[in-house]
């Protein structure tokens, strides 16, 4: 059994003295693990850094075996982000969420495409709204999409300010009424496609997406929110306006 595919390094774990078990988010084979023999050696370890885009070959005797990876580096995103503190943290959070929520070996082109968009944005000033949108796309790809197009109560499309924690549907400011304190705030950039946002807006978006990721994807699998994602959210809460 063998195939070739484009992939993104999502996770890596040491195996034995010099090998790695590496998980790639692939274009057509989903989240897929494989053994990289000699993966900790100087010649290849730079290839298998989280966030790097690679061209990979997977081989195994039988389809259900772990199999072996051989990969060539396409773009070293990890090195590009090495000195960018918060974008690097966002990369770690996104990769950890993919590993925690996606079933292995099930194709999911939508998540792959969303992660590619995120990687391309992380080196730009527009990285933080892009990260929040990645989580929205991940929720949708997992089958629990948010409906931010109109008010769940009135059907109106204007003045959308909240999201129901139960249904994931938007609620307008006027329709929220006495239930406002029970709803999640809906940051404007998630609706209007804005390319900039303060940390408080990003934190509000991550509080919203985190609720649905935890309830719909993690809890049924008896998994907890990845620590990398929790740290990113806490950082967004603490950072002052304009400080990204």
- pLDDT at position 242 over 70: no
CATH of the domain at 61: 2.40.50.140
122/136 same-domain check: yes
Q: Give domain status of residue 24, yes or no.
A: yes
Confidence of residue 194 (pLDDT cuts 50, 70, 90): confident
51/142 same-domain check: no
- pLDDT at position 33 over 70: yes
pLDDT score of 121:
96
Range of the structural domain that residue 227 is part of? 81-148+186-238
95/54 same-domain check: no
Q: Report if pTM > 0.85.
A: yes
**Secondary structure, 3-state, the chain:** CEEEEEEEEEEEEEECCCEEEEEEEECCCEEEEEEECCCCCCCCCCCCCCCCEEEEEEECCCCCCCCEEEEEEEECHHHHCCCCHHHHHHHHHHHHHHHHHCCECCCCHHHHHHHHHHHHHCCCCCHHHHHHHHHHHHHHHCCCCCECCCCCCCCCCCCEEEECCCCCEEEEHHHHHHHHHHCEECCCHHHHCCCCCCHHHHHHHHHHHHHHHHHHHHHHHCCCCCHHHHHHHHHHHHCCCCCC
Q: In whole numbers, what is the pLDDT of the chain averaged over residues? A: 95
- pLDDT at position 244 over 80: no
């Amino acid at each position: 059994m063998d195939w070739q595919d484009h992939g993104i390094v999502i996770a890596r774990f040491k195996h034995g003295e010099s090998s790695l078990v590496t998980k790639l988010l692939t274009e057509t084979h989903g989240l897929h693990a494989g053994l990289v023999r000699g993966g900790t050696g100087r010649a290849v370890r730079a290839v298998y850094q989280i966030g790097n885009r690679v061209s990979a070959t997977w081989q195994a005797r039988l389809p259900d075996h772990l199999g072996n990876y051989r990969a060539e580096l396409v773009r070293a995103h990890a090195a590009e982000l090495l000195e960018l503190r918060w974008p690097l943290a966002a990369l770690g959070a996104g990769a950890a969420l993919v590993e925690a929520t996606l079933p292995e070996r099930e194709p999911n082109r939508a998540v792959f495409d969303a992660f590619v968009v995120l990687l391309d944005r992380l080196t730009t000033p527009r990285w933080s709204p892009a990260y929040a949108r990645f989580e929205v796309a991940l929720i949708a790809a997992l089958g629990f999409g948010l409906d931010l197009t109109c008010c769940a109560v009135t059907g109106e499309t204007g003045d959308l300010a909240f999201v129901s924690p139960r249904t994931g549907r938007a609620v307008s400011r006027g329709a929220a009424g006495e239930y406002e304190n029970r709803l999640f705030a809906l940051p404007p950039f998630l609706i209007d496609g804005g390319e900039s946002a303060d940390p408080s807006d990003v934190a509000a978006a991550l509080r919203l997406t985190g609720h649905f990721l935890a309830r719909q994807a993690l809890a049924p699998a008896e998994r907890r929110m990845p620590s990398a994602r929790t740290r990113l959210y806490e950082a967004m809460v603490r950072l002052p306006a304009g400080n990204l």
